[in-house]
């Protein structure tokens, strides 16, 4: 007879995302924000959840996970205690969606463990995620490149309007600056409150760039025109957010110099994800991306340059039974 107890363990792996830009910060039609986002293969958040005799959180982002566990216990009526181990975490406040992916990964793990139906949009609201952008939820569910429709008067989570697969042979270069963080929390709220009124003509141009250039070019796998649309968006938005970024389009001047070097060397669609400091660029193949990365690394001291693919599926949620050694006397 086997004395080991069978314990269910759920592991969730969630992708980082690039926030490529907003659509309408003016809001004159009754909706505000709207955004474009892309799931990427790395970095990622990976955590494991299991039932336990007492609550325990180990690994990265411990305090944030503890708070989310308490919230979800109450909101979902969960019983018992849980052990959570965060094996990997997307760098925090780097413009890669770390907070939303961590929250959704934890919620998905607990739901799977308790045989509850998935509800990423609802859990994002419960855990105070997605106040402006809905792409984090859409990418957690399906990956690819998504567009959300922003927030109206009665909107809970911004609806996903479009999802297009990212060409598997294209590559994304991301440039991280470990020495800096982008605006977040109360600083982000204050920044939006201080910004001037966004021009209605700029909102119109952003929507045109997305609908009539970026999305059709992606569907036709035309990287040159896709990149041109993303870069034009980034220039409009970078100029708008510059007063909150030291007068620059990029939070990190080192990242800015690096992505411009990538552009001069042949990369497409350079820009900054969300408030940064992470920058990005696109290449037509893995070979070209590796060449570009090798070219700029010698002059990019202190920066972390990675080559990754777009991810055309959502988070991976895997449940399995594991054997737990019996406790003496039990």
Close Cβ partners of 39 (under 8 Å, ≥ 6 residues apart):
15, 16, 17, 139, 143, 144, 145, 166, 310, 311, 312, 314
- Looking at residue 199, its pLDDT comes to 97
- Looking at residue 329, its pLDDT comes to 40
- Looking at residue 132, its pLDDT comes to 83
Give 306's pLDDT tier (boundaries 50, 70, 90).
very high
- Looking at residue 323, its pLDDT comes to 62
- Cis omega (within 30 of 0) on the bond before 290? no
Nearest to 147 by CA among 33, 228, 231: 33
pLDDT at 326 over 80: no
Nearest to 81 by CA among 72, 89, 93: 72
pLDDT at 93 over 80: yes
Q: What is the pLDDT of residues 174-220, one digit of tens each?
A: 999 999 998 788 788 888 888 999 999 999 999 999 999 999 999 99
Cα–Cα distance measured from residue 142 to residue 137, given in angstroms and rounded to the nearest whole number? 9
Kind of pairing between the strands at 304-308 and 316-324: unpaired
Higher-confidence residue of 193 and 284: namely: 284
pTM for the model: 0.92
- Looking at residue 52, its pLDDT comes to 93
Q: What angle do CA 232, 234, 238 make, to 5 degrees?
A: 125
Q: What is the pLDDT of residues 121-171, one digit of tens each?
A: 999 999 999 888 899 999 999 999 999 999 999 998 999 999 999 999 999
Nearest to 81 by CA among 70, 92, 90: 70
Cα–Cα distance measured from residue 16 to residue 185, given in angstroms and rounded to the nearest whole number? 19
pLDDT at 304 over 90: yes
pLDDT at 2 over 60: no
What's the Cα-to-Cα distance from 203 to each of 9, 22, 28, 326, rounded to whole Å?
A: 46, 9, 10, 62
Q: What is the pLDDT of residues 235-282, one digit of tens each?
A: 999 999 999 999 999 999 999 999 999 999 999 999 999 999 999 999
**Lookup: tokens for 217:** 């070019």
Cα–Cα distance measured from residue 2 to residue 19, given in angstroms and rounded to the nearest whole number? 50
Cα–Cα distance measured from residue 37 to residue 210, given in angstroms and rounded to the nearest whole number? 12
Domains of the chain: 1-165+310-330 (3.30.230.10), 167-309 (3.30.70.890)
Mean pLDDT (the chain, rounded): 93
Output the DSSP codes for 170-200.
-EEEEEE-TT-----HHHHHHHHHHSPPPPH
- Looking at residue 6, its pLDDT comes to 52
pLDDT at 109 over 60: yes
pLDDT at 330 over 60: no
| Residue 21 and residue 59 in contact, taking contact as beta carbons nearer than 8 Å | no
| Residue 133 and residue 19 in contact, taking contact as beta carbons nearer than 8 Å | yes
Higher-confidence residue of 6 and 68: namely: 68
pLDDT at 119 over 80: yes
The average pLDDT across 294-320 equals: 96
């Amino acid at each position: 007879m086997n004395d080991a107890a069978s314990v269910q363990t759920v592991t969730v792996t969630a992708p980082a995302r690039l926030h490529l830009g907003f659509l309408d910060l003016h809001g004159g039609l009754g909706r505000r924000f709207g955004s474009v986002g892309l799931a990427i293969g790395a970095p990622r958040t990976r955590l494991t959840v299991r039932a336990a005799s007492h609550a325990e959180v180990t690994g990265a982002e411990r305090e944030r996970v503890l708070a989310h566990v308490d919230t979800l216990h109450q909101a979902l009526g969960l019983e018992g205690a849980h052990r959570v181990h965060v094996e990997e975490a997307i760098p925090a406040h780097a413009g890669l969606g770390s907070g939303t992916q961590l929250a959704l990964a934890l919620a998905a793990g607990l739901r799977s463990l308790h045989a509850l139906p998935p509800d990423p949009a609802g859990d994002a609201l419960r855990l105070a995620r997605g106040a402006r952008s809905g792409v984090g939820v859409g990418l957690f569910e399906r990956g690819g490149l998504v567009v959300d429709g922003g927030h109206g008067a009665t909107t809970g989570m911004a609806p996903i309007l479009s999802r297009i697969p990212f060409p598997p042979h294209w590559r994304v270069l991301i440039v991280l600056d470990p020495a800096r963080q982008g605006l977040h929390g109360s600083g982000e709220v204050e920044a939006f409150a201080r910004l001037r009124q966004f021009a209605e003509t700029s909102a119109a141009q952003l929507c045109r760039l997305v609908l009539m250039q970026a999305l059709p070019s992606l569907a036709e796998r035309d990287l040159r025109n896709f990149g041109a649309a993303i870069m034009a968006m980034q220039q409009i938005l970078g100029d708008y957010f510059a007063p909150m970024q030291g007068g620059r389009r990029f939070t990190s001047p080192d990242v800015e110099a690096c992505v411009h070097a990538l552009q001069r060397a042949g990369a497409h669609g350079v820009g900054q994800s969300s408030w940064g400091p992470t920058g990005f660029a696109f290449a037509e193949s893995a070979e070209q991306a590796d060449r570009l990365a090798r070219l700029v690394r010698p002059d990019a001291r202190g920066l972390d340059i990675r080559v990754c693919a777009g991810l055309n599926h959502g988070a991976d949620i895997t449940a399995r039974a594991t054997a737990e050694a019996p406790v003496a006397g039990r």
